[in-house]
Chains A and B, each alone.
Chain A
Amino acid sequence: MKNVKVWDPLVRIFHWSLVICFISNALITDPESQLHRQIGYVVAGLVAFRIIWGFIGSRHARFHDFPPSISGSVGQLSDMATGRKRIHVGHTPLGALMIYNLIVTLIGIAITGYMMTTLRFWGIEWVKELHEICVTWAEFSVVAHIAAVIWESRRTGVNLPKAMVTGSKTLPTEV
């Protein structure tokens, strides 16, 4: 067993802040309230920060470290199908796709949410519809994200949730 530093503090603060904001706005706050809007701005800020950090951040935080890769994703699926363990130090290929999916969806939610606060788009049905569709998609994605993290942690024996808290992945030494 060896510990490898993977996630820098800002990536972890971003992740868990986003978790808190998303749960608040999806499940708790009143969509018409001022608080819902303010949390929405925070989410937009967090996503903007993450995109910038994807270019200037630490090694595994950069988009360059986890490019969207179809062949990599199919490779990871093959590993799952055959029970092989290829350890990825940073984001796995499927994990990377989920990150891009969530970033795009959250941008969609933030834009349509902001539009509803403007005079031009307030009360227009398709904006509200789109906002809700994006939120539903994000909720579905979050459930898939959590399920995949649990599945991959069990399959590879690397505790991924712990890594997002402490910043270090504990990898088996023989790999």
Chain B
Amino acid sequence: MSSKTTPDGTTLGLLALIVTQAACSAFFLYDAVADIIADGMAAFNDVLLHVEMVATLSMILAVILEGRFLVRLLRRNAHAERGLSIASGALHDLMEQYFHEWGLTPSEADVATFAIKGLDIAEIAEVRGTAEGTVKTHLNAIYRKSGTSGRGALLGLLVDDLLAQPLIERKEPPKDMPKASGLA
């Protein structure tokens, strides 16, 4: 639960890639802008400038996509429990999907994960370094956005979905997810 654990190779590799590409694209961007400032519109007659700009823009796009992937990876690692069984992996995917569907903020998704895992308000507040009042506010937002009445209903929603399909075929997420009615 603590973020003090040693980061795994994937995270570090991805981080190194992002930093390198960000630094390179910053230089290429600077170079292209300097060319345009120096030569004005005439700079665009140079084919090389166009190639450079396409390369730079696609690298910036790659950095953004990698950044988003890194955020997902960090969240997943922050929530991972020892021994990722099929069940916990499937539950995690399902949770992420619902959180996205409901439009939870990163903080709310974090609180929701802990709530589903059974931590009480004081424990969640401690793990997240926030006040208990803040956690209560997050929980209210979670119940409102998910249309559930409380922690039990929230958990029921997930368990229902999890039991409705075989665990092995968890590659295909449920296409028609109910728009959060207060079932369970």
Contacts and interface: CB of A to CB of B under 8 A. Distances in A.
B129 A81 contact: no
Given A74-B15, A78-B74, A174-B131, A83 B3 contact: no
B7 A81 contact: no
Interface stretch (A18-26, A60-68, A84-92, A116-124): A84-92
B119 interface: no
Nearest to B19: A97
Given A74-B11, A74-B74, A175-B129, A136 B4 contact: no
A71 B110 contact: no
A83 B6 contact: no
B64 to A, nearest CB: 15
A82 B11 contact: no
B140 interface: no
B78 A71 contact: no
Interface residues of B, number: 33
Contacts of A174: 125, 130-132
Interface residues of A, number: 23
B7 A84 contact: no
A79 interface: yes
Contacts of A137: 23
Contacts of B75: 78, 81-82
A75 B130 contact: no
A85 B110 contact: no
A85 B11 contact: no
Interface in A42-81: 70-72, 74-79, 81
B26 interface: yes
Contacts of B79: 82
Interface string B5-30: 11100011001000000010011001
Interface of B: 3-7, 11-12, 15, 23, 26-27, 30, 70-72, 74-75, 77-79, 105-110, 125, 127-132
